[in-house]
Structure 1
Amino acid sequence: MAIQSVPLAKFYRLMNHGPVTLVSAKHNGVENAMSVAWACALDFDKVSIVVASTAYTRGLIEKSGYFAVQIPTVRQAELVLDMGESRHENPDKMRDVGRFYQDGFDVPLIKDCAAWIICQLITEPHNQQTYDLLIGKVLGAWADDRIFSHGHWLFDTAPDELRTLHYVAGGQFYAIGKGIKFDRGPDMD
């Protein structure tokens, strides 16, 4: 084995191999969704996402105060790439995207994902303006019970097309792999 240097501009690829996400929002009847690589749980009831100030979806989030984070699956890889296009440049990008709404929420959700999380924006002007970092309070969360049940992912028994996507760069994804389980540790149930 050899230890090789990684350019600082690429260090995030060592850490950010969690699932790629789709973020959606709606304001005044206008819906949009976009691919977001930098999304993570910030606490037990908060999510953070990085969305450029120039992104179409960012404007919808800041105007409406709400957004959804979705976890797409392998069968949605092309959709993830399509949602990476700017709506400024492709106004019709949402035309054929399947969407639905959960009762009580006016935030579009993308059909066929592994999971959906609806959040209310916690306004933090410094973080938003300086770092493009948006923080959301989780208001509701749902998952496909074929791959998430009783608080756990079921990827070891899930069909390959239902595994979550992990984006690297240049159109390359990885699907979540085989689990390793120990009979000890925190949060055992």
Structure 2
Amino acid sequence: MAKRAYPLAKVYGLLEPGPVVLVTTARKGQANIMTMSWHTMMEFEPPLVGCVISGRNASFDTLRATRECVINIPTLELSKQVVGIGNCSGRTVDKFAQYRLTPVTAVAVKPPLIAECYASLECRVADTRLVNRYNFFILEVVKAWVDTAIRQPQTLHHRGNGVFAVAGETVRRRSAAK
């Protein structure tokens, strides 16, 4: 075995949970976008998504107060916007204007969808019991949208320190019927 010790501060890059997403929130007529990498599916029906949002982010306070957001899934074409959005604060920047993204009115929640993203999931906070201790929100997806013209979306996957993997080859293996 050729394994060696690995720094604990870098473990997150080994366990990336899924595509980088852009989370939109809205409060008092002001929409914001944040880049988020730390989320996980928790249940299928209804779809529940767990996510960590730093208490230092403007989106944290808005999500806590309004209890709704939209998870937007960008593709490789938006990689510069994804990184830029992650490197500035919604307290001082109108990220829709700065990054030339188009807000689209949602059906079930107040925050907008992002037109340029491959998919958008309208969400409501379902459980806040882990927010105070871990900044962990449990969201219920109440409406989902996908651009059916995009057959093989190339999503971004954060590996840490500005390094991203791009979803590539799709492999199909039949699972046992249940």
Which residue does 1:27 correspond to in 2?
27
1:167 corresponding residue in structure 2: 158
1:81 partner letter: V
1:106-145 aligned within 5 A: 106-125=110-129, 127-145=130-148
| Counterpart amino acid of residue 33 in structure 2 | A
Choose from 56, 60, 63 the match for 2:62.
Answer: 60
Residue 3 to residue 35, structure 1, CA distance change in 2 (3 Å): same
Normalising by the residue count of structure 2, what TM-score does the alignment of the two structures yield?
0.88
Q: TM-score, normalised by structure 1?
A: 0.83
Deviations along 1:25-66, one digit per CA (max 9) or x if unpaired, are 111211101001101211112111111112111111112110
1:186 to partner: Cα distance: 4.4
Q: In percent, how many aligned pairs have the same letter?
A: 28
1:185 corresponds, among 152, 175, 178, to: 175
1:98/1:111 contact within 8 Å kept = yes
Distance 2:15 2:118 in 1: 22
1:66–1:8 distance in 2 versus 1, CA, 3 Å: same
Cα distance in 2 for residues equivalent to 1:138 and 1:116: 10
Match of residue 150 from structure 1 = none
For the structure 1 residues 187 and 172, does the alpha-carbon distance in structure 2 shift closer, same or farther, using more than 3 Å as the test? farther
Residues 17 and 168 of structure 1 are in contact (CA less than 8 Å); yes or no, is this contact kept in structure 2? no
Unmatched segments (≥5 aa) in structure 1: 148-153, 156-161
How many aligned residue pairs are there? 173
Unaligned stretches of 5+ residues in structure 2: none
- CA change 1:187–1:79 in 2 (3 A) is farther
1:35, 1:123 → 2: CA distance? 21
Greater shift after overlay, 95-104 or 112-121?
95-104
RMSD between superposed Cα atoms in Å: 1.9
CA distance in 2, matches of 1:186, 1:70: 31
Partner of 1:159: none
- Which stretch of structure 1 is more off in the superposition, 45-54 or 104-113? 104-113
